[in-house]
Structure 1
Amino acid sequence: MTAFSDRYSEFQEEEILEEEKVTFEYDPEKINIATREPTIEQLLRRIDEKALDLAPDFQRQANIWTPEAKSKLIESILIRIPLPAFYIDGTNEDEWLVVDGLQRLSALKQFIVDKKDETNQTDTRLKLTGLEYLKELENKTYDELERRYQRRILETQVTVYLIEKGTPLAVKYNIFKRINTGGVTLSNQELRHALNPGSATKFLAKLASFPEFKRLVELNDEKLKRMDDREFVLGFISFYLISYKNYPSGTGARDSFFSKALGKVNSLSHKEITELEEAFKKAMIAAFDIFQNNAFRKISKKNKRKFPINKSLFEVWSVAFGKLDKQDIKILTDRKQALINTFIKYVDNDAEFLSSISQAASKIECRFETVDKIIQEVLL
């Protein structure tokens, strides 16, 4: 077996690229976290007044505890077992965002705040179940508890670590990442959404809903919950708005690049947003017309299998098609077999290109320059 064949085997299974490990270098003096001890009643009041958001972009995680787990939380409070600390992003005083403690707050809200809807006879209230010590409270709702128990819950103080205004975005991101290490860790894209509120995140969701995109990038429910579709879209937007030649180096480069692009989207005019949307749609249509169901996948004569969707290829092909004019797109579509054959030639014979489309955080220039070379060979 040749050296290139060995290299091919090394990369051929590495299609859906691993998320880059995110770390940041920053001045510790910029971390601004205050400790507060509100009562449960005060936190619930903020929720009721929509000043504490339980589900900004963490909605997939909200309210997933079983009734038994929720009931044991309530029981712990009633028997005076201290709760773990809550972490809350208090950058916006009028709308706190839950960083850690979402399940506990959701359980408390369901037990204490939620009421039976008499209109449609639905009852989402929590009834205590599976209790270990206070078995006499089994099957009771909050309203059915003795007043002393209700008061004990409401007056319980909890520890809240509040990430305050002035803490840099990179620091907040790192805090989010460090805290969310247990259970189902939040993906980088979910964290970006939580930390970059504004029109950009809504724009990502809009583009990800386009049928032209969805027919090419088919993701299972779990990947959709993890916002993989929006990360694909963000890859297009980032490299479309910011040249790959300005891609930063070092650890955390990919996330820094994506976060910069999100900020840039928030500052675009309506006209620029419309143009970006049209470029994305044009790219998706061109990719389908040329590659059909092999769009954004490796294609090889040496390995006949159908490869999975590849984020690196999605970024380079979508940006390339998005920047071409309609005349060049038509030429490529008319010569699509030549384009496909040229692409296959590079996949099967160019070890550096193959490596570049198998690693998310490196060799950016190689993959963009090679795809541009492929396109120019067919256009000329």
Structure 2
Amino acid sequence: MIKNNNLNTNFEDEGIDLYDQIETNDEGINQPFDPTKIRVDTRKITIDLVLKRIEYKELDLAPDFQRQAIWTNDAKSRLVESILIRIPLPAFYIDATDDDKWLVIDGLQRLTALKQFIFDKTLRLTGLQYLTELENKKYDELPRKYQRRIVETELTLSTIEPGTPPAVKYNIFRRINTGGIPLSPQEIRHALNQGKATKLLGRLAKSDDFLKATNFDRSKKQKRMLDQEFILGFLSYKIYGYTKYKSFDSRDDFFVQTMNSINKKISDEQLEQVEHDFTKAMIAAYEIFGEDAFRKPKTSRRNPVNQALFEAWSVILSQLKDAELEKLKQKKNDLLNKFRNLVNSDSEFLESISQATKKVEIRFSRIEKLIQEVLA
């Protein structure tokens, strides 16, 4: 018998089905919120003080969610030259809700360039347009007047202050972060919910059993953190149960609350059990479906992994007892035939795994019923 054991009582070549990405991609930014709750301050701070924060790891310049193209040395050098000839720089946007750990929303490449030139001393100035006499010089080789001018330059920081609700912070992050390739919803969740949740997602995404069941490519970083979004779907439905989904404002709110719960509320022992159940589900899925795990039944070609099927099958398999899983494996041909018939004959179910992300109960309940029939 299946128990709802929750803790609350062109990507096709990578095997990823973006069935819900279009529908949910701008979900967070479109959620209404009270503008009076926006707490953004503007402050002036010298480059020297910014570097102090970087030195003491109070400002992170190596977030693994950032995907902007790396600046060339010429671009970095012209930033330094702009400071030396006193051209004002655009504002930097910082999430300062945790005063001990600032997060760069916009301006990462500029701050990285300044760190490399002043603190690391690994950058030589190249491609200068005005101060050509400084060509090929490092920071320590500059005249003292130029060194002083750089470190005493005041930067304009727009900071998101403590007390700003997570949903508002998400909206601000989404609106402001325009450098390079725009961040995906999962990359923003990852940025704003650092802690046990991001570590768990990273660990599970690299696990052999997940990679085997999904055929995700271990050799390259998954674009837009889709692998971790898949796993976050499992964690969300596992922790809250699929019947609770409708009580959340949006899919993004559902996912953000899950990450927040993992970071602050769920014990390490409970997370160990969830991780164990995830591994159990991945192994079972591969042993039953083989290379077609979490995919729609084959037609003329092998279908990509489907996010809706991944969430439903992984959660439901994780809830089965070992004896029930063994029985499913023994009767897997019957299970596969019933699943194929379900997809081919139930238009409502097919819609729920193809485009309608809100039809959560349909896909979960249909698969639960299918398994119960096989186990009967």
Q: Same fold (TM over 0.5)?
A: yes
Counterpart secondary structure, 1:130: coil
- Does 2:117 correspond to 1:111? yes
Structure 2 match to 1:365: 361
How far apart are the structure 1 equivalents of 2:16 and 2:215? 18
Structure 2 match to 1:68: 74
Query: Larger relative CO (CA 8 A, sep 6+): 1 or 2?
Result: 2
Gaps of 5+ in 2: 1-14
Per-residue displacement from partner, 1:334-380 (whole Å, max 9, x unpaired)?
01111111111111222111111012632111111111122122111
Q: 74, 80, 104: which is aligned to 1:98?
A: 104
How far apart are the structure 2 equivalents of 1:144 and 1:14? 51
Counterpart secondary structure, 1:215: helix
Structure 1 match to 2:17: 15
Displacement after TM superposition at 1:126 (Å): 0.8
Per-residue displacement from partner, 1:83-104 (whole Å, max 9, x unpaired)?
1100111111122111111000
Displacement after TM superposition at 1:54 (Å): 1.5
Q: 336, 341, 348: which is aligned to 1:340?
A: 336
Per-residue displacement from partner, 1:108-163 (whole Å, max 9, x unpaired)?
00011004xxxxxxxxx111112222222221111111111111111111110011
Gaps of 5+ in 1: 1-12, 116-124
CA spacing shift, 1:189–1:26, aligned 2, 3 Å: same
How far apart are the structure 1 equivalents of 2:373 and 2:124? 68
- Does 2:241 correspond to 1:273? no
Displacement after TM superposition at 1:226 (Å): 2.6
CA RMSD of aligned residues (A): 2.0
Asked whether the equivalents of residues 253 and 361 of structure 1 are also in contact (C-alpha less than 8 Å), the reply is no
Residue type of the partner of 1:296? F
- Does 2:237 correspond to 1:260? no
Structure 2 match to 1:50: 57
Q: Extract structure 1 runs of 4+ deviating beyond 6 A.
A: none
How far apart are the structure 1 equivalents of 2:309 and 2:58? 42
Structure 1 match to 2:160: 163
Structure 2 match to 1:181: 178
Counterpart secondary structure, 2:103: strand
Give TM-score scaled by structure 2 length.
0.89
Asked whether the equivalents of residues 20 and 357 of structure 2 are also in contact (C-alpha less than 8 Å), the reply is no
Asked whether the equivalents of residues 223 and 229 of structure 1 are also in contact (C-alpha less than 8 Å), the reply is no
Query: What is the correspondence of 1:1-380 to structure 2 with a 5 Å cutoff?
Result: 15-19=17-21, 20=24, 21=26, 22=28, 23-58=30-65, 60-61=67-68, 64-115=70-121, 125-220=122-217, 224=222, 226-248=224-246, 253-266=250-263, 267-300=265-298, 303-359=299-355, 361-380=357-376
How far apart are the structure 2 equivalents of 1:128 and 1:14? 43
Give TM-score scaled by structure 1 length.
0.89
Per-residue displacement from partner, 1:227-278 (whole Å, max 9, x unpaired)?
222111111110111121111378x611101111112223222321121111
Displacement after TM superposition at 1:81 (Å): 1.2
Aligned residue-pair number: 355
Residue type of the partner of 1:143? D
How far apart are the structure 2 equivalents of 1:148 and 1:137? 13
Asked whether the equivalents of residues 24 and 171 of structure 1 are also in contact (C-alpha less than 8 Å), the reply is no
Q: Percent identity?
A: 54
